[in-house]
Amino acid sequence: MAKTAIVTGAGTGIGKAVATALLKDGWNTVFCGRRLAMLEQAIAEAGPTEARALPVACDISSATRVDEMFETVAEAFGRVDLLFNNAGMGYKSTPIDEIPVEVWNEVVGVNLTGSFLCARAAFRAMRSQSPMGGRIINNGSVSAYAPRPGSVPYTATKHAITGLTRTLALDGRPYDIACGQIDIGNALTDMAAPMTVGVPQANGSIAPEAVMDVKHVADAVLHMASLPLDANVLFMTVMATKMPYVGRG
């Protein structure tokens, strides 16, 4: 029997690559995002597969919409075996005193509250289904460890995701729910394309950065997802080898 995965932010970038990889690997895969047309296009581009793809438009910052999505998934597949909490957003490099409160609330609403709401619904489903259990993988980012200049909202939420991951990994133990986090550095997507031209550095300069194929992220998530529930990758960092992260620039 095919397992069921839910991927948020699946219309573009990392989410699209991961959802496509899961689908091709035999997972019934729910492509979740705000824009239904983009989800349908992503599924069409994946091509024919034995597993089933289901596009579901959902604003993950809304508790009601998230609960409705999980009800739709339950009706379609009967269970949830994997949630990839991927949907997220950022904001242009800006000093904290110039960041509108509305921007802060929007970034927190998607990156943190959205991840909480989806994890909450997945945990509930995994805890009550038979056989019990499942896996939640959170998209952290290397910003969960080291900030970029002017990135207060994004970096704060990614640090918070680490707390969410650790607590879910602990609280999921009695219910065979494993939780891990993948921290991604400079995967080449439309959002990361400016890195190839130049982005702000800690020393105030603008410089291009090394990037990697997003396929490597999809392969990493697929490995995490393929483990039995008695094994878990708690944290994994996948990054462009030469990006300015490990050292001082």
Which residues are the active-site residues?
154, 158
Give the side-chain half-sphere CA count within 13 A for 40.
Answer: 4
Report CA 79 to chain centroid distance, whole Å.
Answer: 20
SS (HEC) of 184-209? EECEECCCCHHHHCCEECCCCCEECC
Q: Which residues pair with 128 in a beta bridge?
A: none
CA–CA separation, 214 and 4 (whole Å): 22
Residue written as token pair 């490995």: 223
Q: How far apart are CA 222 and CA 216, in angstroms?
A: 10
Phi (first) and psi of residue 4, to 5 degrees: -115, 130
